[in-house]
Every structure is written in structure tokens, then in C-alpha cells.
Amino acid sequence: MSLAALQLARSDAGHRRIDQVTATFEPGRLHVLIGPNGSGKTSLLQALAGDLAPDAGRVAWQGEDLSHLDRRRLARIRAVLPQQMPEHLPYMVGEIIELGRLPWAGEARATTRAAVLRAAQSTGVEEYLEVPYNRLSGGQRARVQLARVLAQLDGVPTPAVFLLDEPTAYFDPYWQHVCLRLARELAAAGHIVVCVLHELNLAAQYADCLYLMQAGRLVLSGSPEAVLNDARLDRVYGLRFSRLTDPDAPGSILLRGDPAVEGATPQA
């Protein structure tokens, strides 16, 4: 009962987006991809979603090649929150969230409404259901998009797959923590949850397992305490990190300036 990347590789125009990545993502854990810009996090997430075809290797869903699943079945087992959020859509908020129920076309209207309402309540946008999406702030629109993802897999048997690309990017600190608590709750319920995060202290606080990427490669994986205290983190980011001890979030880090680390190869 897992989602696995098996020797995944993908290149575009001579650029290696994913380079021989093998990793298994189990239910019940919050998996977080970290690494500099351009390190392959989003490409890996897209491949796990079935939206980016690998040149080599495969993605396996419960042992079955993900590419063998038809699009409707795929949409009923995995939901994706993309990095780029649409800013202008001519719909009401409730209609945007309801788009997540398209894979379940034909279900009772009351079932759809209940799924939309639960998702809206989870993300604090229930008061905006009849408000035009275009009138919302960036952070509010991001919460609507997160609600759409939650509505898509509302009530499905575990494990389903939630793939969240920088879900906290548009949020203030309060909603960053709410978002990641929701991710933890989905994992605790038995789902597979994979997130891309740039905020390493948030990753330290919420992740069960971290995956450090560089130049399309998976450099290091393990617990937050192990990964964030490894010297390879400094070299990958080209920064010197000061480690602070926090009993509630082992491995949490604090940036100390931006001097390059000897041997580092940070990416643009």
C-alpha cells in the first residue's frame, strides 16, 4: 500500500530534471521534499502525480504502474495542489471547490454539497462560498485551491494520495501552520501525503520524513533530525546553518547569514 518512484529519470532540452530517483512513500507519514530552486522537487511531484512521463523508470501505485491507470481512476485516488495558482477564474468560490468533485460525476447532489462544505470549513473559506473567486486575496485563493484538493478525495478509502507543491507559499504564519496540520491529519488518517516545502523550520516541525534533492538527484532522506543536521544540507544550499536544539522539533535550524560553504554547489 505505497507510492514508489523506481529509478525515475527525466530530461528536457539537455537538462536533467529527475536523475535516477528511487523512493517509497508510505501511508501514515508526511513526506516532505526539500532542496534549492531547480533541484527537481516539482518535477518529482509531477511524476508521482502521473502528470510528467519519465524517460526511464516508473512510478508504482500499490505495485501497479501508474501510467496504466486511466485518468478518471487516477483522479479518484490522487489529488494535486500545483505550485502555480490561478489568479483569475470567473466562478464563485463554491464552484471552484466543487470542481474537485468532477471525478465523481453522477453522485448525489447532497453528497457533493457536503464534501464542498467540509473542505471549505477545513480551510476557513465557508463564508466565501457565494463570493466571486476573483475578489479574494492571494492567500484566500490559495485556501480555496487547497479546499478543492480536499473535496476531490473527500471520503475515499485509505490510502489516497495528496501531492502538495509549496502549499504554504501564499500563507501568513497562522495559515502555514493550519495547512501543515491538515497535511499531518491526512497522513494520520492513513493517506499518503507528499509536500514540497522551502521553509525548513516548518519542515522540521511537521515532516515525518525529509527528502533532500539537488540537480534532480535524491541526495539524502530520513528523519528531520537526521537530514537537517547533516553537513550535506549546508553544501547543497551553499549556506552555513546554525542548529538550535528544540525538544518539540528536533533538527530545527536557523540560518546564520549567507556565506558560501566550501565545496557547495547551490543552484539558481
Closest of 41, 50, 57, 49 to residue 9, by C-alpha? 57
Say yes or no to pLDDT of 260 above 90. no
pLDDT at 85: 81
CB neighbours of 251 closer than 8 A, spacing ≥ 6? 204, 223, 224, 225, 226, 227, 228, 229, 243
pLDDT at 241: 86
Confidence of residue 13 (pLDDT cuts 50, 70, 90): confident
Closest of 153, 60, 26, 63 to residue 101, by C-alpha? 153
Q: Which residue has the higher pLDDT, 192 or 247?
A: 192
Mean pLDDT, the chain, integer:
92
Output the pTM of the full model. 0.92
Confidence of residue 265 (pLDDT cuts 50, 70, 90): low
Mean pLDDT on 65-92: 91
Confidence of residue 52 (pLDDT cuts 50, 70, 90): very high
Say yes or no to pLDDT of 7 above 70. yes
Closest of 99, 97, 103 to residue 156, by C-alpha? 103
The three-class DSSP label of residue 19 is strand
The region of weakest confidence among 14-23, 45-54, 79-88, 201-210 is 79-88
Q: Which residue has the higher pLDDT, 255 or 221?
A: 221
Say yes or no to pLDDT of 98 above 70. yes
Say yes or no to pLDDT of 69 above 70. yes
Residue 166 to residue 251: CA distance in whole angstroms: 21
pLDDT at 259: 63
Say yes or no to pLDDT of 267 above 60. no
Mean pLDDT on 75-79: 97
